[in-house]
Amino acid sequence: MRLATIVIILCLVGSPAFAKSESRRRECNRLTNQIARYEGDVKLAQERGNELWEDATRAQIDRLSERRVSRCPQYAEDKGKAMREFARLIKVAARAAAKYFTMGAF
């Protein structure tokens, strides 16, 4: 009986946290889909030569991106930092390969 009570209490306490994370995940997906849709609208506006529509759509994309970064931490990471780290890794690998294949001449 005690075990059943504890399980029920844990389920009741854990449910709101799970529901919140699920709704946040849905919101992140929704924002990502909206951004993708508006990026398509930017291309359409460019094809039609409508600068006003293009500017307004880009502004909406910026607003949605800011909201997505504030609510979805996985989109907040710095992409430039990852590229710099990858470039550094390639540089180190190239130096090691040069030493290995030239028998230490470089």
User: In this predicted model, what pLDDT tens digit does every residue of 72-103 receive, in sequence order?
Assistant: 988 876 566 777 888 888 888 888 888 888 88
Cα–Cα distance for residue pair 97/103, rounded to 1 Å: 10
pLDDT digits (tens, 9 = 90+) for 21-65: 667 889 999 999 999 999 999 999 999 999 999 999 999 999 999
pLDDT score of 74: 84
pLDDT score of 19: 42
**C-alpha neighbours within 13 Å on the C-beta side of residue 83:** 3
Domain ranges of the chain: 22-75, 78-106
Q: In this structure, what token pair is assigned to residue 53?
A: 């529509």
Q: By C-alpha distance, which of 38, 34, 36 is closest to 46?
A: 38
Q: Is the pLDDT assigned to residue 3 strictly greater than 60?
A: no
Q: Is the pTM of this model over 0.75?
A: no
